[in-house]
Chains A and B, each alone.
Chain A
Amino acid sequence: MAEVRRRKEAFDEQHCTMVIVTFLPVTELAAFRAQHHLDFPVLGDPDRQVYRLYGLQRGTWRQVLHPRGIGAYWKAWRRGIPIRRPHGGDDVLQLGGDFLIDPQGRIRLAHYSHDPADRPSADQLLSALSPSHGDGPR
């Protein structure tokens, strides 16, 4: 999320709106948005109905404790990013995902995370948006 946030202008240039979906309660969304300096919508899906609608499932402990995920947490900790304990209501086994939707409403990229660190890079996402990739924005 941090890398994509830093590249927001590049997504804006490609006429792409970013939207964060969390399973935080609605009452906590504004604080979360401010804490992470986000200037795009943050949505609350505490019942995870939309997670299920998009096929996002809970993983296994083996996935969550994947060395790549542990490594990502280690790097974040080295950069001074605090690692929080799971909060009440958190589900550490829930996996995330990223979906790029074109203006007609078709999925152009669907990425289902296999472990906590498994996310497409901003470059991968921007590449899927570029005019040379299919019939992206012009």
Chain B
Amino acid sequence: MGHLQPGDWAPEFELADQDAKPYRLKLADTRWRLLIFLRHRH
């Protein structure tokens, strides 16, 4: 997949969070979202 650009729809996804509960990123939300992808565990 190529690089996403401003104006593109954010890809939706679901991953497990720290409580092993599913966290789903949905397009429509009441809030902005800042996704920070780490390069390793820091």
Q: A residues within 8 Å of B by Cβ?
A: 1, 4, 11, 14-24, 26, 28-30, 32-33, 36, 41-45, 49-56, 84, 86-87, 90-92, 94-110, 112-113, 116, 125, 129, 136-137
Q: B residues within 8 Å of A by Cβ?
A: 1-13, 15-20, 23, 25-42
Majority DSSP secondary structure for residues of A touching B: mixed
| A94 engages B16 (CB within 8 Å) | no
* Given A17-B31, A29-B17, A30-B18, A55-B1 contact (CB < 8 Å): yes
A107 vs B3: C-alpha distance when bound (angstroms): 11
Minimum CB distance partner of A42 in chain B: B18
| A30 engages B38 (CB within 8 Å) | no
Minimum CB distance partner of B30 in chain A: A103
Of the candidates B10, B18, B34, B40, which one forms a contact with A98 in the assembled complex, judged by CB atoms under 8 Å apart? B34
Minimum CB distance partner of B2 in chain A: A55
11 inter-chain pairs at a CB distance below 8 angstroms, sorted by A residue, are: A16-B31, A26-B16, A43-B23, A44-B16, A54-B11, A84-B41, A96-B38, A98-B37, A100-B35, A101-B10, A103-B31
Residues in chain A near residue B33, CB distance under 8 A: 16-19, 99-101
| B34 engages A17 (CB within 8 Å) | yes
B22–chain A nearest beta-carbon distance, Å: 10
